[in-house]
Structure 1
């Protein structure tokens, strides 16, 4: 989902960052010991490293598997998303066959560079609803502290430097925003394009014709509805804003207490006899000689920030995880923690009816940026006349995030009740540990309430202003998957990633209603003059069984928003970390990345990862 295009790139203008810090070039430059060792220099890892080193009191080493990359595939806002398929910048391997999707396998794509997935994501800057974060807090019951909406909102504000949209653009498109939901101190920028596709305004206005759809005062207000939202771009140089330029460039070299080394694979966390994490072992990427592994000590904490796929792999390889899996891999059990690698979730894509507009208005659309010579010439001329500020173009920084009662007013209660009445373990992986089942039971109760709520978003229509619209995202899928080490080779073989998409039948119930609602939207009188025609699954596909059959052959289980494999939940609910983000049963070991999300927010994950990392840094510093 490309959200931002930089016309200056189209016009052949390059922008190159300068003043970059020096990375440790050799492993012999790594000191024997640091206060903190951070495994993973991605979105969360670099945020935490910046905050821990800014006072000068603590020494930090960041160990990153990937590379430093500063080319246009990362920095240019119009091309950055293409980096997700670049093997130099992303892990890209096949998932386990999805049994409920016709046995198809899907690519597992996650960041593999300094800056992580924030360096090649779709640059969407929106956060979930208030109820999402209050739900996280609810899993701890009366012991809850610090993770509800009111607790995390200050960290959303701290994480971003908000730039208001151009006044003419805001007025023309009805863009609402309220600066009280944002901050201006961060080096991670949230900004707006200077040009939007004309048809977006029409699509957004049409939602107002559906009873119950609201237009919140700001995309960050924690409310569902239809709204415009910023993108992660620095409006000064007009470059992608991500964790490396925001929390590392020009910082590390000015702080002798902040070291970074890239191209290194962390094999496992090292423990003493009291289960205290004392450091990590690692090898240069490409080496498979375990006897040559290097090690570095952590005086205070080892901080896992390797992401939802690789954090559980490293924990399991370290002896922290499900006992049976570890024994199968001949790994000594440090802590039997069955939730490590369980509870795997992702936003689901390619699930709603696709429509083509046969009478598209005579206005530019996103594809014209690359294939319409007339528009390209006009855009070039506008850019040439606007040298004081490069023209930027959004291909869709708006959409609808809608509650299920609005999507399915006649069926939402029945579907929610049918889901809630399921035995908790009925559709989890075979032989799921009872603690993980108990955790899913708690989630099931909470998510059934979400399905009934008018204050939580379940359906997302990502608008592009195009003659072809199909981008529907399921925000709270109910199926659960796993991420597990390969027992025969836990270190050098990629883990087995299994979304287990559509294994819970309640997901099919919800998605059928998504298809019906999308048809309802395109049947609105305000849109009929554009002659929308359903391209898939086809207007003749109306029986729920036929809709589900189409879904099984077409849906994608991932929008590259994996979460949940080291969940922040009570240990007796299959949790891996507590509210302090420390790993149960260990000392001096914490997790700071999207794997700690107990369930998905009703929004894409980038903004929440930054907020969690900012809060984590305060928690870690508060322990000293």
Structure 2
């Protein structure tokens, strides 16, 4: 890829930066996308491994005052084609397989031995370049629970994160007419307007969404919060990560990199290169990283670049633990099995793996559904030529209509007592009474078991709470499919490097889906509730007829058989493999996001979340990155 051109004035300024800022700092002589290792300087103040959602956010914040030099090393290429930028239907990026990693998980024993595609972003901008553009945050209890593993005064709490939720986004409210027509509630006090990452509402909504959302008002206990960012469960509308001017995807590359990397002389980005490992000195301080081109199949020709201050891993939940393990930081038995010297025996690296589980729940055919279905619109299905032409003409004229809608922005995030009012307490009690080790991987370290014991107590409380959500119903407005997400799976998986080839094969990803039987108890209740939603509210007026799993699937056994055949344990929201928890609880990083047992190494990405929030993870990942950048600058 060609290097970006530079203004002549910028070249003159770059020669004087070291004198201006002093302290012997040597800044790069130029700023560009680098595609050759030979173009990388010998050392930088900070090296960020991964140019994704979190990595580019941190890099922006560390370079904005001009004091520090930063190198971002990104595995994937720079891309800016329509598969990434197009808003329509939300998942255009997945149509181009060059935009992401996709490799099979370990066979899932409890899903009839199915393997699941492990999908994570593989371009500059990471998963924020290919996700469904959903912008919602979890509940207050979620973030308070994170900090509670440390102390009642932990800065990781709802109050501690709210300023960063605000900082991370530029909020654009819905138009007055849209808010009035669809009863969209919002409160701008929960949002900021200074970021270059945009959160906005499409000006078009599918008419049937009114019926789907109104139906929740007929269910006892369902609340309607004042804003999607209020930290409350309930039914609500949320914005999408869309820049409302051009109606294009808003993600970390245009928000935190475009127009920045070419004007900041203290900022380098090298794409299409892979970090093999972090190197440490005798004091266990991280000093440098070893990297090769992404297509390399051996360590021949590997290069090393030094960090004066700190190395920040932002490679994501799947690849950050792999890099730690290859660097000698992880479970000693795993490392020794691959012949890797143990720098720190850190059993939590790669454990505590979680993702939101997805299923097409009880789904109904509405025999008199009067609106266009999403499959009638480009690019899905055979398409209805008249509808496609109308949608494309409307979008070309004023950037509105169906093609301005991403993957949707309305639905419900509901507490378990609302879902299962007669059984929730018994299910929570049975779960809490489990032995912490009973359903973890065999041979789990005592600290990992202790961490899950602490989580189990907290999650049992969550199952009884009316202030936290476990069930997500995604309202589509175009077809009566019930897209259901299990927001707090109780099973725990692992991400471990392949001992036979730790450096050049993908890690072994095991979701261990449904390994904890309490997950099945919860999912059965989800199916029952979804049936009530369609059959016992105003939606019954549309003559619903159950298609999946079928009205004759009435027993728990029949529902479970359907779940095992169809559940997907991933909604592309992986977290937890470098958990921010006390070391005694299997933690990998402390409250300042620094890796235990070493110096000069931190993790800033979704892998530090100790538990899933009761919402999709994009907004929370940005907030972690903003807070992480402040923590790093505070110790500089």
TM range (shorter): over 0.9
Change (3 A) 1:328 1:175: same
Change (3 A) 1:562 1:117: same
Which residue of 1 is the match for residue 290 of structure 2? Answer: 281
Which residue of 2 is the match for residue 127 of structure 1? Answer: 137
Which residue of 2 is the match for residue 75 of structure 1? Answer: 85
Which residue, out of 224, 238, 241, partners 1:229? 238
- Deviation at residue 83 of structure 1 after TM alignment: 2.0
Superposed, 1:44-193 pairs within 5 Å as: 44-78=54-88, 81-84=91-94, 86-142=96-152, 144-193=153-202
Change (3 A) 1:274 1:308: same
- Deviation at residue 88 of structure 1 after TM alignment: 1.6
Superposed, 1:529-608 pairs within 5 Å as: 529-608=541-620
Which residue of 1 is the match for residue 326 of structure 2? Answer: 317
CA distance in 2, matches of 1:256, 1:464: 46
Which residue of 2 is the match for residue 35 of structure 1? Answer: 45
Corresponding residue SS for 2:98: coil
- The answer on whether the counterparts of 1:416 and 1:452 sit within 8 Å (CA) in structure 2 is yes
Corresponding residue SS for 2:545: strand
Unaligned runs of 5+ in 1: 1-17
Change (3 A) 1:83 1:161: same
- The answer on whether the counterparts of 1:165 and 1:192 sit within 8 Å (CA) in structure 2 is yes
Change (3 A) 1:529 1:49: same
Corresponding residue SS for 1:201: helix
CA distance in 2, matches of 1:387, 1:321: 50
CA distance in 2, matches of 1:374, 1:170: 29
Change (3 A) 1:390 1:81: closer
Which residue of 1 is the match for residue 372 of structure 2? Answer: 364
- Deviation at residue 407 of structure 1 after TM alignment: 0.2
CA distance in 2, matches of 1:199, 1:616: 41
Q: Does residue 299 of structure 2 align to residue 299 of structure 1?
A: no
Q: Does residue 385 of structure 2 align to residue 373 of structure 1?
A: yes
After superposition, the C-alpha distances for 1:64-84 in whole angstroms (9 at most, x for unaligned) are 000000000111112662323
Which residue of 2 is the match for residue 483 of structure 1? Answer: 495
Q: Tell me the matched-pair count.
A: 606
Which residue of 1 is the match for residue 211 of structure 2? Answer: 202
- Deviation at residue 528 of structure 1 after TM alignment: 1.3
After superposition, the C-alpha distances for 1:12-61 in whole angstroms (9 at most, x for unaligned) are xxxxxx99983023211111110000000000000000000000000000
CA distance in 2, matches of 1:476, 1:424: 17
Change (3 A) 1:390 1:470: closer
Stretch moving more, 226-235 or 144-153: 144-153
Which residue, out of 458, 464, 476, partners 1:464? 476
CA distance in 1, matches of 2:267, 2:504: 28
- Deviation at residue 378 of structure 1 after TM alignment: 3.8
- Deviation at residue 323 of structure 1 after TM alignment: 0.5
Which residue of 2 is the match for residue 402 of structure 1? Answer: 414
- The answer on whether the counterparts of 2:203 and 2:400 sit within 8 Å (CA) in structure 1 is no
Change (3 A) 1:24 1:576: same
Unaligned runs of 5+ in 2: 8-30
TM-score computed with the length of structure 2 as normaliser: 0.93
Corresponding residue SS for 2:531: helix
- The answer on whether the counterparts of 1:366 and 1:395 sit within 8 Å (CA) in structure 2 is no
- The answer on whether the counterparts of 2:322 and 2:507 sit within 8 Å (CA) in structure 1 is yes
Change (3 A) 1:266 1:394: closer
CA distance in 1, matches of 2:265, 2:511: 42
Change (3 A) 1:228 1:432: same
- Deviation at residue 160 of structure 1 after TM alignment: 0.1
CA distance in 2, matches of 1:39, 1:475: 29
CA distance in 2, matches of 1:347, 1:387: 32
- The answer on whether the counterparts of 1:198 and 1:364 sit within 8 Å (CA) in structure 2 is no
Corresponding residue SS for 1:614: helix
- Deviation at residue 355 of structure 1 after TM alignment: 1.8
Change (3 A) 1:410 1:276: same
- The answer on whether the counterparts of 2:391 and 2:402 sit within 8 Å (CA) in structure 1 is no
- The answer on whether the counterparts of 1:85 and 1:109 sit within 8 Å (CA) in structure 2 is no
CA distance in 2, matches of 1:25, 1:553: 44
CA distance in 2, matches of 1:375, 1:104: 37
After superposition, the C-alpha distances for 1:486-539 in whole angstroms (9 at most, x for unaligned) are 111100010000000001000000000000000010112411121111111111
Stretch moving more, 367-376 or 125-134: 367-376
CA distance in 1, matches of 2:352, 2:442: 13
Change (3 A) 1:261 1:531: same
After superposition, the C-alpha distances for 1:526-581 in whole angstroms (9 at most, x for unaligned) are 11121111111111111112211211111111000000000000000000000000
Which residue of 2 is the match for residue 436 of structure 1? Answer: 448
Q: Does residue 467 of structure 2 align to residue 455 of structure 1?
A: yes
Superposed, 1:314-353 pairs within 5 Å as: 314-350=323-359, 352-353=361-362
Change (3 A) 1:577 1:525: closer
Stretch moving more, 288-297 or 248-257: 288-297
Corresponding residue SS for 1:514: helix
Change (3 A) 1:525 1:619: closer
CA distance in 2, matches of 1:365, 1:397: 16
Which residue, out of 245, 266, 269, partners 2:254? 245
Corresponding residue SS for 2:589: coil
Which residue of 1 is the match for residue 13 of structure 2? Answer: none
- The answer on whether the counterparts of 1:196 and 1:394 sit within 8 Å (CA) in structure 2 is no
TM-score computed with the length of structure 1 as normaliser: 0.95
Change (3 A) 1:136 1:358: same
Q: Does residue 535 of structure 2 align to residue 523 of structure 1?
A: yes
